[in-house]
Amino acid sequence: MTNAALVLEDGRVFRGEAYGATGVSLGEVVFSTAMTGYQETLTDPSYHRQIVVQTAPQIGNTGWNDEDDESSKIWVAGYVVRDPARTPSNWRSKRGLDEELTNQGIVGIAGLDTRTLTRHIREQGAMRAGVFSGSDLTDDASMVDQVKASAQMVGANLAVDVTTDKPYVVEAVGAKKFTVAALDLGIKSNTPRMMAARGIEVHVLPLTSSFEDILKVSPDGLFLSNGPGDPATQDHAIALTKEALGRKLPLFGICFGNQILGRAVGRGTYKMRYGHRGINIPVIDVTTGKVAITSQNHGFALEGTPGEEFSSEFGRAVLSHYCPNDGTVEGVRLLDAPAFSVQYHPEAAAGPHDAAPLFDEFVTLMNEAR
């Protein structure tokens, strides 16, 4: 057994044993309340530069398969679990979670009290941290200094790290009905699949694309994906969004894309105390009062009051959804232009699927624009 420590920037130290690769990994420590779907969590680009704490006590029971990755690799900076499964058991499992973490060089820690750690993050807020093991496990003061010298999440431009290097196309399933340009801010694999199932040919474009690049694919709509980092850094994506709104190109954004649309219509964003991460988070549509249980992963949010109507350079807009747990704004809808966005994941894998019909709403928007 190799000793390990999770060291927080406020000086708190949690001790356990190494899980996955040994070494040191620095990032922002956050917690996820999902009880399943850890493979999708680990491969979600939105978790870039974050050390993820699983609040569910036992992790790794179903091992690791070759079908459920949401991107080309594991993106988390580090991984924290309480009770790792000793023997995975699932008919699709190809190897254990610890083996995959080791293969991909992800430094983790197991055997610590994740309940106490989660309460600490809830009370003190998400903060910089480091997982240390092996020869990198030194005295507490030195490790705290190393953590304090690491980068902050506020002001972090991380989408540029996770976007695709070159455009690619996901073909429509069956007859092609629409073409969508999807701006890759950290897109998950299931998102183009969900659109393709609705007859949409999806052109996934790098974040660096110009609006001319978007127009080259002759899109019926523009999609803004999820992604990591501070939305205040995304001047280019915001400019592209404004261009689309000015041309009345139907637009749908999720998660990070919701914050991009919000900033494009004049709303500010702020860093939340500890964010929303999990697959069991309620959201209320202010127009219908309908509640959806959603998958979320965000540490920033839009400023404003749920249901608030406001004016923008593209006409009237409304803050359309909110989380009843804390009143956080969870959606924007333009009333004079074909655009809307939500702070959660309608493509959610491993679920829930309450929000999947939002893709149908996007189809309706493109139909109406025709």
Domain assignment of residue 141, given as a range: 3-149
pLDDT digits (tens, 9 = 90+) for 263-311: 999 999 999 999 999 999 999 999 999 999 999 999 999 999 999 999 9
Does 227 reside within a domain?
A: yes
Domain boundary residue, one of 149, 177, 202:
149
Please give the pLDDT value at position 3. 97
Whether residue 193 lies inside any domain: the answer is: yes
Domain with 263 in it: what CATH number? 3.40.50.880
Please report where in the chains the tokens 């965000």 appear, as a residue.
Answer: 298
Out of 128, 149, 170, pick the residue that ends a domain: 149
Please indicate, yes or no, whether residues 22 and 107 belong to a single structural domain of this protein.
yes
- What's the pLDDT tens digit per position in 159-173? 999 999 999 999 999
Residue range 106-123, pLDDT digits in tens: 999 999 999 999 999 999
- Using CA atoms in the order 56, 58, 63, 65, what is the torsion angle rounded to 10 degrees? 0
| Ranges of residues in the chain whose predicted pLDDT is under 70 | none
Do 143 and 274 lie in one domain? The reply is no
Q: Is the same domain home to 53 and 165? A: no
Largest pairwise CA distance in the chain: 64
CATH classification at residue 19:
3.50.30.20
- Looking at residue 370, its pLDDT comes to 86
- Count of domains observed in the chain: 2
Contact 255, 182 (CB under 8 A): no
pLDDT at 350: 84
Q: What residues are designated binding site for L-glutamine?
A: 46, 227, 229, 256, 259, 297, 299-300
Residues serving a catalytic function are 255, 345, 347
Beta partners for residue 58, in sequence order: 83
Between the CA of residue 251 and those of 36, 200, 241, what are the distances in Å?
31, 14, 8
C-alpha–C-alpha distance, residues 252 and 178, integer Å: 14
**pLDDT attached to residue 351:** 87
Same domain for 346 and 210, yes or no, is yes
Residues 241, 340: one domain?
Answer: yes
- Rounded CA gap, 322 and 342, in Å? 9
Residue 289: partners with Cβ closer than 8 Å, 6 or more residues away: none
Output the CA–CA distances (angstroms, integers) from residue 127 to 28, 54, 123, 226, 232, in the order listed: 5, 16, 11, 21, 19
